[in-house]
Amino acid sequence: MAIKIMGTGSALPEKIMTNEDMTQLVDTSDAWIRERTGIGSRHISTGETVVSLAAQACRRALENAGREAAETELLLVATCTPERGIPCAACQVQSELGAARAVAFDLNAACAGFLFALHTAWAYIEAGIYRNALVVGSEVLSKIVDWTDRSTCVLFGDGAGAVWVERSERGGIRGFVQHSDGNKGAVLQCDSRELHNPFASVPSQTPYIQMDGREVFAFAVRQVPACIQEALEQAQMTVQDVDLYVLHQANKRIIEGIYKRLGAEPEKFPINLDRVGNMSSAAIPVLLDELNREGKLKEGMLLVLSGFGAGLTYGACVLEW
């Protein structure tokens, strides 16, 4: 049994923040940001939420697939920036969509979240438990960014991307791998609410993203090509067999380092981070939706998806479109 992506959708906040806008907040420049990251602008929420963006992306994925929300059996939201601890974002999206039949829950693997959620949907469908799923990555990272820290605030954007997947007799996922390295989790972290009860009060270190950029870069350039090779071997394919590599959009230099290590053609690595920045779990599905709607994804094409980020978590999958 295989699963196939039948529809894609995405949603971005209306507000676009350029690098020039950034210079009004921190000591930086358009040239400095572009040289180090490849980012030129990003979308920033002025009220849009993880739930509202996810619901909009899901509606567009359903429309693209020719399906109705009422048909949904599994609804997974990958996010690390939900508005509420409870109920989960997925249950809120379920309510927004009217997907009454769906089982809904969240998954947090940061920037690898969408990929991990897609693999989770595959496992449920492969096991025969469900026949279809809506899988969405949605983030409002602007609320956990320290807007006085120029090393991180220039990187992130807000948005959501979704896919509709269902059982298929052919195509779909050919191989996948997932890894975690919790020992190195401190290189990219963000504290949550402090412990405060009648017996203890432990303040959080900071409620904003903290990142060791050098360590994250080294991790990504070293581990991502290795896990892509692992997934390709599982699928009995080579680097040259792949038509497109749809990677997490963290940093242009990271993507360049990955394709150089793989020995793959740069043109097989589409990029949209110059316009949207790093959207964590939303990055891969938003890029997929762009490629799909531009007519760049043809039936039978072989794709590699790979996500990597906080945790540290990383993984890859090989799929036939």
Per residue in 97-109, is it b (16+ CB within 10 Å) or e — as a string? Answer: bebeebbbbbbbb
Both tokens assigned to 89? 């974002």
Catalytic one of 19, 108, 251, 278:
278
- Report yes or no: 81 and 141 within 8 Å, Cβ to Cβ: yes
179 annotated active-site: no
| Nearby residues of 253 by Cβ (< 8 Å), 6 or more positions away | 36, 37, 38, 217
Q: In sequence order, what E strands does 188-252 have? A: 188-189, 195-197, 200-202, 210-211, 244-247
From the list 119, 248, 292, 317, the catalytic residue is: 248
Tokens at 182, concatenated:
């919790």
Catalytic residue among 111, 153, 190, 227: 111
Q: Which two structure tokens, joined as six digits, stand for 177?
A: 């791998």
Residue 278 annotated to the active site: yes
Catalytic annotation present for 248: yes
Of 139, 62, 58, 131, the closest CA to residue 94 belongs to 58
Q: Which parts of the chain fold into alpha helices (H)?
A: 19-22, 30-37, 50-65, 89-97, 113-126, 150-153, 213-234, 252-262, 273-276, 283-293
Which residues are marked as active site? 111, 248, 278
